[in-house]
Chain A
Amino acid sequence: MNSAVTLTDVPVPPRRAPAVWRVITLSFYLGWQDVRMMYRRTVLGQFWITISMIVTFAAIGTVFGFVFNSPVIEYLPYLGCGLVFFNFLSLILNDGANAFIAAESFIRQVALEPIVYFLRSVWKTFFVLLHNALALILLFVFFPQGISPATLLVVPGLVVAASGISGLALALAMLATRYRDVPQIVAAVVQVLFYLTPIVWLPEALPAPARDALLTWNPLTHMIAVMREPLLGSYPSPQTWLTAVGLAVAFVALGAGAYALKRRELAFWV
C-alpha cells in the first residue's frame, strides 16, 4: 500500500451536521472564495473594492456637492452611506437573480440543496459590503458624524434590509432560471432605481408631490433609510421601520415560498 490516506479514518460524509448549518457554512466558504478569486493576481487584492468606492465618493461628491450647493461636511457622509448601501442591495438583486443560472453545472452534478448557490451569492455581496464599509469608515474619519446610541441601530437596519432584499432576490432567481429574460429586466429596473432613490439627490431638492411619491412608493428608499439614518446620527421614524420590516417579511415569505414550491424543478430549468 503506497497510499498515505487510510480510508478507515475518513469520516462518513454528510448527515451528521444539521442540514441548515451545513448550508450556511458551505455557502459562506464558497462566497468568501469567490471574493478572493475576483481579485487574484492584483497587488491590492479585494481592496480594489474599497478604492473604487472612495473614487466614486470623491467624483460624485464634488460634482453634486456643487449642484445642490450643500456643505461637503453634510453632503459627503449622506452620499457615502447611500452609495454603499445601494451598492449592497443592488448587488444582492443582480447577482442573486443570476445565482442558479451561474451554478448550472453544480446543480446538474451535485445533490446539494440549490439554495447553497443563492446564499453563496448573498455572502459574496456581504463581503463586498465589508470592504466598502472600510471606505465609509475612512470617510467618517474626515467627516465625523459622532457616535450616539442611534448609531447602533445600523445593525438591525442592515439585518432587515439584507434579509428583505434577499427574499425578493430569491424569488427573482427562481423566476430568472425558468425565464431567462428576467435578469435583464432586473438589471434595467435596478439601474433606474438608482435615480429614483434618494442617494445622490437630497429629498429637499425636489418639489413636494414628486418627493412624496418617490419616498413613499419606492421600497428601496425605506430599506436604505433604516441603514443610513442611524449612521448619520438620527433615529429612523417608526413609520420607516414599520414599512421596512413589513416589506422584509413579505419579501422573505415570497422568496421562501417560491423556493419551497419549485426547488425540485431547478435541476430541469438550468
Chain B
Amino acid sequence: MTTHVHLEGVSLDYPVYNQSSRKLSREIIRLATGGQLDRHEQRRVTVRALSDITARLEVGDRVGLIGHNGSGKSTLLKLLAGIYRPTAGRLSREGVVGSLLDISLGMSPDATGRENIYLRGVLQGLSRSEITRLVPGIVEFSGLGDFIELPMRTYSSGMLLRLAFSISTVLSPDILLMDEWLAVGDAEFQVKAEERLHEVVSRTSILVIASHSATLIKSQCNRVIYLEHGRLVADGKPDDVLPQYFTEHQ
C-alpha cells in the first residue's frame, strides 16, 4: 500500500463536559429520581469541530491548511495524527505519521538533557538502542555541549527549544504534520534548523502544515485546504485558494 490519507465525509463532534455534566452526583440524582429531574440537561453539549470533510491526500502532496482560529485546523491535524477518531465518516491512512505539533512534550525539567533525549525519543516511537545511536548526533546538532549532562531546568528557553528541535527532527516519517513552521534558537541555530527542517520535509511523502502565512504556504505547498467553521471551503492549487482567504480578510 502506498502512503496516503483518505477522508470520506469525516465529521468530529467534540463533547463538552461542563461542571454539572462531569459530576457523578448528577448521575446519581438522575438514577435516584428515575431520570425525571433533569431530562433537559442530559442532552450533552457537543461542538462540531469538523463537518463532512472529504479529501484524498496522496504521495507528493504538500498541503497547507488555512482558516481562522477555531476553524478546525488543529483538530484536523490531530485527527490525521490519530489522536482523535472521526465520530462520523471514514478515515483511511497508510504510512508512519510524525508530528512536530508539540516538540517539547514529555521532557522533564529535573532530568538531564541526555535523559530527556531518551524520554522524548521513546515517545516518538524509537527504541532505546536506536536512541543511543542517535544521541551523539543530537547533542552535536543542539550545540549544547557539556550542558547536556545538566538538568534541563538550568537551560535557557532557547537552549530547551534547541534540544527539543534536535530530538524531534531526527525522525523521517511518511506523513509529516506541522502547526506553523518551526523557528528556534538564535540566528546561527536558525540557519541550521531551517536546513534540517527542509531536509525532513523533503523526505516525507505527505506534508500537512497549518499556517497563517501566505508566504510560507507559497514556498512549501502545492495544495491548499481552506477550512471555515469546520467545513472544507476550498481545496486546490495555492494560487487559486490563497486569494479567497487572504483577500477576503484584508
- Listed in ascending order, the chain A residues whose CB lies under 8 Å from chain B are 1-7, 9-15, 17, 22, 25-26, 29-30, 33, 37, 40-41, 105-112, 178-182, 185, 264, 267-269
**Complex partner residue of A30 from B98, B122, B196, CB under 8 angstroms:** B122
Asked if B171 is at the interface of the complex by the 8 Å CB criterion, the answer is: yes
Given A7-B172, A106-B105, A109-B101: A13 and B140 interface contact (C-beta under 8 Å): no
Q: How many A-B residue pairs have CB under 8 A?
A: 108
Encode B76-109 as 1/0 by CB contact (under 8 A) with A.
0010011111000000000011100110011010
Q: Give the segment of B21-29, B53-61, B242-250 that binds chain A.
A: B21-29
Given A109-B102, A111-B83: A178 and B22 interface contact (C-beta under 8 Å): yes
Contact partners of A110 in chain B: CB under 8 A: 83, 105-106, 123
Segment 203-220 of B: residues with Cβ below 8 Å from A: 203
Say how far A99's CB is from chain B's closest CB, in angstroms.
15
By size class, the interface of chain B is 35 or more
Contact partners of A12 in chain B: CB under 8 A: 96, 172-174
Say how far B219's CB is from chain A's closest CB, in angstroms.
21
Contact partners of B239 in chain A: CB under 8 A: none
Contact partners of A15 in chain B: CB under 8 A: 96
- A5:B83 contact, CB within 8 angstroms: no
A-B residue pairs in contact (CB < 8 Å), sample of 16: A3-B141, A3-B196, A7-B172, A9-B133, A13-B124, A30-B122, A37-B111, A40-B110, A106-B105, A110-B83, A110-B123, A111-B97, A179-B24, A180-B22, A267-B83, A268-B14
- A7:B203 contact, CB within 8 angstroms: yes
Say how far A159's CB is from chain B's closest CB, in angstroms.
26
- B23:A181 contact, CB within 8 angstroms: yes
How far is A267 from B97 in the complex, measured between Cα atoms in Å? 18
Encode B128-158 as 1/0 by CB contact (under 8 A) with A.
1010011011101100000000010000000
Segment 110-129 of B: residues with Cβ below 8 Å from A: 110-111, 115, 118-119, 122-128
- A15, A112, A268, A269: which has the most chain B beta carbons within 10 Å? A268
- B82:A17 contact, CB within 8 angstroms: no
How far is A104 from B107 in the complex, measured between Cα atoms in Å? 15
- A17, A109, A178: which has the most chain B beta carbons within 10 Å? A109
- A7:B83 contact, CB within 8 angstroms: no
- B96:A268 contact, CB within 8 angstroms: no
Say how far B56's CB is from chain A's closest CB, in angstroms.
21
How far is A17 from B141 in the complex, measured between Cα atoms in Å? 28
Contact partners of A22 in chain B: CB under 8 A: 125
Asked if B232 is at the interface of the complex by the 8 Å CB criterion, the answer is: no
- A10:B82 contact, CB within 8 angstroms: no
- A4:B23 contact, CB within 8 angstroms: no
- A5, A37, A185: which has the most chain B beta carbons within 10 Å? A5
**Complex partner residue of B24 from A2, A37, A182, CB under 8 angstroms:** A182
Given A5-B141, A10-B170, A106-B106: A111 and B27 interface contact (C-beta under 8 Å): no
How far is A180 from B26 in the complex, measured between Cα atoms in Å? 12
- B105:A105 contact, CB within 8 angstroms: yes
- A109:B14 contact, CB within 8 angstroms: no
How far is A11 from B173 in the complex, measured between Cα atoms in Å? 10
- A269:B17 contact, CB within 8 angstroms: yes
Contact partners of A25 in chain B: CB under 8 A: 127
- B15, B23, B122: which has the most chain A beta carbons within 10 Å? B122
Say how far B86's CB is from chain A's closest CB, in angstroms.
10
Asked if B195 is at the interface of the complex by the 8 Å CB criterion, the answer is: yes
- A14:B96 contact, CB within 8 angstroms: yes
Contact partners of B133 in chain A: CB under 8 A: 9
Say how far A184's CB is from chain B's closest CB, in angstroms.
10
Say how far A12's CB is from chain B's closest CB, in angstroms.
6
Contact partners of A108 in chain B: CB under 8 A: 78, 83
Asked if B234 is at the interface of the complex by the 8 Å CB criterion, the answer is: no
How far is A33 from B127 in the complex, measured between Cα atoms in Å? 15
Say how far B232's CB is from chain A's closest CB, in angstroms.
22
**Complex partner residue of B82 from A11, A13, A111, A269, CB under 8 angstroms:** A111
Closest to A41 in B: B110
Asked if B38 is at the interface of the complex by the 8 Å CB criterion, the answer is: no
Say how far B126's CB is from chain A's closest CB, in angstroms.
6
Asked if B200 is at the interface of the complex by the 8 Å CB criterion, the answer is: yes
